[in-house]
Amino acid sequence: MMRVFGVAISGNCYKVRLALEQLRRPYEWVEVDMMNDGTHTPGFLAMNPNAKVPVLEIEPGKHLPESDAILFYLAEGTALLPSEPFARAQVLQWLFFEQYSHEPYIAVARFIVRFLESNHPRRAELPRLRERGHQALAVMETHLGGRKYFVNDAYSIADIALYAYTHAAEEAGFDMTPYPAVRAWLKRVEATPGFVSMGGSA
């Protein structure tokens, strides 16, 4: 059985869990102990020298890091990834958008707000993170106007990847009022078959 090395409160790990649940693939979840630097043990670094969760263990000795690469691998040949080359490339476009223009702002703001002390010096980063995060949300709002999902009006791993931290933007302090199309899309994702919410056990 496949194993996921992850952290339940991480959106990047939640993406993998949501995809596995919706694809009805059996898996075992291995919670990594972040309090004790669990991504820097020799065993973990042998799976991912970049010391980040999640890692998918396809079989013992065969490991794949990077949440969006894992999504692509799991979705290949399923309804969560179109087979037509341009549509596939558009799914990848949004996965790269997520990792470059979205996650580094919204996920990092959420981390600072939710998991650091209220007087932590990293709170000084919040204004810039919020500004860039709002830019990403505005791009999503523009794209989703008149569309049901990100690519070809069909639910795909592009939606899973972007849902993970967008649905948590409010707890990161983002006012979502200016984004009605994004808010409607969040509800649409939550109504897809097999949807599971973030956190909690698998």
What residues line the site for its own copies (CB under 8 A)? 49-50, 52, 58, 62, 64-70, 72-73, 76, 85-86, 88-90, 92-93, 95-97, 99-101, 103-104, 139, 142-143
Minimum Å gap between C-beta 189 and its own copies is: 20
Question: What is the nearest approach in angstroms of its own copies to the Cβ of residue 108?
Answer: 12
User: Judged by CB, which is closer to its own copies: 77, or 200?
Assistant: 77
In whole angstroms, the minimum distance from the beta carbon of 62 to its own copies comes to: 7
Going 184 to 186 to 187 to 188, the CA torsion angle's sign is: positive
**Nearer to its own copies by C-beta: 54 or 168?**
54
Tell me the angle at which helices 126-144 and 103-115 cross, rounded to the nearest 10 degrees.
130
Q: Round to whole Å and give the CA distance between 23 and 25.
A: 5
| Structure tokens that stand for 152 in this block | 């070809």
Q: Which is nearer to its own copies, 58 or 195 (CB)?
A: 58
DSSP-assigned beta bridge partners for residue 55: 5, 65
Where helices occur in the chain by DSSP H, the ranges are 11-22, 42-47, 67-75, 85-97, 103-115, 126-144, 157-166, 180-190
Q: From the CB of 175, what's the least distance to its own copies, in Å?
A: 21
Structure tokens at 111: 């981390």
Min separation Cβ 2 and its own copies, Å? 12
